[in-house]
Chains A and B, each alone.
Chain A
Amino acid sequence: MQITTAILRLLVFPGLFFAVPAAWFFLYVERKTIARMQQRIGPPVLQPFYDFVKLLGKESPRYHGIQGLLMKAWPALSVSVLLAALALIPVFPAKGGFSGDLILLITLLELPSIFYMLAGFTSRSVYGKVGSMREASLSLSSNLLFLTAVMMIAVTADTFQLSELAAPSASAARWLGLAAIILCIPAKLRLNPFSTSSAEQEIYSGPLTEYSGADLALWELAHGLEWLALSGFVVSLSFPRTGFRLADAGIFAFLCIAMVVVLATIAAATARLTIDRSVRFYWRWSVALAVVFLMSAVLFRR
């Protein structure tokens, strides 16, 4: 990949200029879907944008020293890491140069969750600490399934290169792996039924309880970008390319939005599980599935 292509990817598509409005639109689709499920009309299209601008114009409490620095750093880091992850997503597979690989992408997708946890501990709020601990245990339990699924996809395709993984070579192992990744996404996005880490009725907003103003706006944006990155990751590994860039981009966007609608519908239809139940859910499924995945990784290995 040329340096210009890399910069275009980071700044234009699927980077900054595309990603930020798309993230707002995904947040809107999430809220609208939940509203329709509750037989409401729901928010206007620009609602996430209104929230973002309003939060930018709000006062933020001042924290001194290293705490103040870190409180500002975590949301900014989350947004930048997610933008980098989005730039790596192989919507149009391109060969040569630095196109990143699966391990880098998975790392970038995993970092925001760690920043979210650290934000809770940095804020020194009791609710933040409880939320961070819940997020940590949920992330540990959902990641076994997530990582073995990713491993199986990579091993059966015999490559970690994203450009080669995105090529249409859909096998049974690929579909099984993607289904397992979709099963993990509600935990990664902190959606119902796995929304314990930001359970409003118990621990206010969890790790974000002490945040306000521009920092909170960045967290909201990071949440939208997480939606975009995770659904984009799954979709880019699953859909066959037509060869026409515009058609590919259209199919990609449509499938991503469809995924948001499905996940938001599940979120609206379920109630929050307690933390021990959600952890148990993932361990119960993940141990059995992880064995299946590792076996199929060996069996289907090329």
Chain B
Amino acid sequence: MKLLEKLLNHCRQKSPWLFHMNSGSCNGCDIELVASIAPRYDVEQLGIHLEGSPRHADILCITGPVTFNTLNAVKTVYGQVPHPKAVVALGSCAASCNAFAGSPTVVGPLHRHIPVDVYVPGCPPRPDAIIEGIAKAAELLSHPERKPLTDEDVKDIPECGGHCVVSAVEPTVEGETPCR
């Protein structure tokens, strides 16, 4: 049983399928996400594949500060992604609402509505940062019990980009370092 579980976890890390969702973003991060999926970066080497249906996806990539109109859609799509799943919040808007903070039509940031596993900061983030974030989320897929990010974790995220912020997982094996 342990061997099968190991194989399954290995396969989960090797084949993360994405679903991309825009929750009221300015389209900057969406362009960068599509650029990172395009042939130049060849993410198929990591098994990454952009899927059309949330039912097929493992990783939900959400851009934008979550507007009032898109909130229900975000929650529905999150529910439609089958377990095990991870959420990657792309761009500074999803982390802190960025330039849209304080707007009456914005109800973000994202982690107040659905559990977020990885933040990729930047306005917009570079494609290599996005790929790094997705790769980290793929590692998290084999850790079903993990602590979602909170206000405390995201308060220091710089708006101009930086390292990905990843949710903490308990070390599974003695001596193995957690993902954070």
Residues of B within 8 A of A47 (CB): 14-15, 44, 47
- Interface of chain A, helix or strand or loop or mixed? loop
Which residues of chain A have C-beta atoms less than 8 A from B83's C-beta? 58-59
Chain B residues touching A, range: 20 to 34
Known interface pairs A40-B39, A50-B11, A60-B82; A204-B52 also in contact (CB < 8 Å) = yes
Interface centre among B11, B39, B45, B51 (most CB of A within 10 A): B11
Chain B proximity of A127: nearest CB distance (Å): 8
Q: Is the CB of A54 within 8 A of B58?
A: yes
Residues of B within 8 A of A213 (CB): 82
Q: Which one, B12, B42, B45, B56, contacts A216 given CB within 8 A?
A: B56
Binary interface profile of B, 52-65, with partner A (CB < 8 Å = 1, else 0)? 11011010000000
- B8 proximal to A (CB < 8 A): yes
CB A217 to nearest CB in B, in angstroms, measures: 11
Scoring A residues 23 to 46 as 1 if CB is less than 8 Å from chain B, else 0, what string do you get? Answer: 000000001000100111111101
Which of A35, A53, A211 contacts B11 (CB under 8 A)? A53
A97 at interface, CB cutoff 8 A: no
**Distance in angstroms between the alpha carbons of A211 and B82 in the assembled complex:** 10
B3-47 interface bits toward A, Cβ cutoff 8 Å, 1 = contact, 0 = none: 000011011101100000000000000000000000100101101
Known contacts A204-B53, A210-B53, A42 near B42 by CB under 8 Å: yes
Complex Cα spacing A60 to B28, Å:
33
Known contacts A51-B15, A53-B11, A58-B84: A43-B45 contact under CB 8 Å: yes
Instruction: Compute how far the CA of A43 lies from the CA of B44 in the bound complex, rounded to whole angstroms.
Output: 5
| CB pair B8 A54 closer than 8 Å | yes
Q: What are the residues of chain B within 8 A of A265 when measuring CB–CB?
A: none
**Residue from the set A43, A49, A60, A213 with the largest chain B CB neighbour count within 10 Å:** A43
- For B14, the closest partner residue in chain A by CB is A50
Q: A60-B82, A204-B52 are in contact. Are A41 and B45 (CB under 8 A)?
A: yes
Chain A residue nearest to B49 (CB atoms) is: A51
Output the least CB separation between A209 and chain B (Å): 5
Q: Hey, which chain A residues are within 8 Å of B14, CB to CB?
A: 44, 46-47, 50, 54
- On chain A, the residues within 8 Å of B42 by CB distance are 35, 40-42
A276 part of interface (Cβ distance < 8 Å): no
**Known: A38-B39, A54-B12. Is A209-B55 also a contact (CB below 8 A)?**
yes
Answer whether residue A243 sits at the interface, using C-beta atoms and an 8 A cutoff: no
Question: Is B44's CB under 8 angstroms from A40's CB?
Answer: yes
Instruction: Say yes or no: B44 contacts A57, CB within 8 Å.
Output: no
Q: Within the assembled complex, what's the spacing in Å between the Cα atoms of A31 and B8?
A: 22
Closest to B44 in A: A43
- Residues from chain B with Cβ under 8 Å of A208 in the complex: 53, 56
B15 neighbours in A (Cβ, 8 Å):
47, 50-51, 54
Does B39 contact A61, Cβ atoms closer than 8 Å? no
Most A C-beta atoms less than 10 A away, residue of B7, B8, B42, B44: B44
Query: A39–B51 Cα gap in the complex (Å)?
Result: 22
- Kindly state whether residue A156 has any CB partner on chain B within 8 Å: no
A56 to chain B, nearest CB (A): 8
Report B-chain residues with C-beta under 8 Å of the C-beta of A41: 42, 45
Inter-subunit contact B53/A57 (CB<8 Å) = no
- Contact between B55 and A212 (Cβ–Cβ < 8 Å)? yes
Q: Are A39 and B11 in contact (CB under 8 A)?
A: no
Contact B55 A61 (CB under 8 A): yes
What are 11 of the A-B contact pairs (CB < 8 Å)? A38-B39, A44-B14, A50-B10, A53-B11, A54-B58, A58-B84, A203-B52, A208-B53, A208-B56, A210-B55, A213-B82
Nearest first, the 9 closest Cβ-Cβ pairs linking A and B are A204-B52, A53-B11, A212-B55, A40-B42, A59-B82, A200-B52, A50-B14, A59-B83, A38-B39
20 extra interface residue pairs, beta carbon distance < 8 Å, beyond A53-B11, A205-B53: A35-B42, A38-B39, A42-B45, A43-B44, A44-B47, A50-B10, A50-B47, A54-B11, A54-B58, A57-B12, A57-B84, A58-B58, A58-B82, A59-B84, A60-B82, A204-B52, A204-B53, A205-B51, A212-B55, A212-B56
